[in-house]
Amino acid sequence: MTKCVLFVCLGNICRSPTAEAVMRHIISQAGTTSQWLVDSCGTAGYHLGGAPDERAQAELAKHGITTMHRGRQLCKDDFKKFDYIFGMDEENFRNIKSLAPADNRAVLGLLGEYDKQGGKIIDDPYYGGEADFEEVYQKCLRCCQEFYRQASRDN
Ligand code: 4NP
């Protein structure tokens, strides 16, 4: 059965497209791409149709990862389509929960809960610098690796 995971941040140009690209890379390396549906979106519609932030793309490129993602906004249908919906910070999480239908069955959580090094929040790097984008990448990598391990085991 296909496992469907959606990563959600505010603008869908920094954190969630990074998590999406990292997750795609992990499943591609594991040879399980056909078993997964992976996507990302924002709670806001600031960057609809836009490519990820150049700094996020540069950080991914340092690790040999590219992304074709284009910005989109979280919508009600996402709660039917995805098994897991992960926000990056408490504000994302509140906004995700407020859009969830009463009969929602998707698992809603913070991606950072999978970080074995602790720290549940993946901070917004938009007004930061290269080091902040690197931190986002490294945290997404640790979390997606652990989520992948647990989701693969659960099946
Ligand atoms: P993201 O970062 O939520 O990680 O994509 C942001 C991107 C854009 C804005 C805020 C956060 N913005 O205000 O345009």
Catalytic positions, please?
9, 15, 124
How high is the pLDDT of residue 155? Answer: 59
pTM (predicted TM-score):
0.98
Ligand 1 atom with minimal separation from the 13 CA: 5
Residue in the block written with tokens 């647990």? 150
Residue-wise burial string across 93-118, b where 16 or more C-beta atoms lie within 10 A, e elsewhere = bebbeebbeeeeebebbbbbebbeee
How high is the pLDDT of residue 122? Answer: 98
pLDDT digits 0-9 by tens, 120-142: 999 999 999 999 999 999 999 99
How high is the pLDDT of residue 152? Answer: 94
pLDDT digits 0-9 by tens, 9-64: 999 999 999 999 999 999 999 999 999 999 999 999 999 999 999 999 999 999 99
Say yes or no: CB of residue 9 within 6 Å of ligand 1: yes
Reported residue count of the chain is 155
Inter-CA distances, 39 with 111, 128, 132, Å: 14, 24, 22
- Of all protein residues, the one whose alpha carbon is nearest to atom 6 of ligand 1 is 11
How high is the pLDDT of residue 55? Answer: 98
How high is the pLDDT of residue 86? Answer: 99
Residue 118 has pLDDT above 70, yes or no: yes
Residue 145 has pLDDT above 80, yes or no: yes
Ligand 1 atom with minimal separation from the 9 CA: 3
For the chain, list the domains and their CATH numbers. Answer: 3-153 (3.40.50.2300)
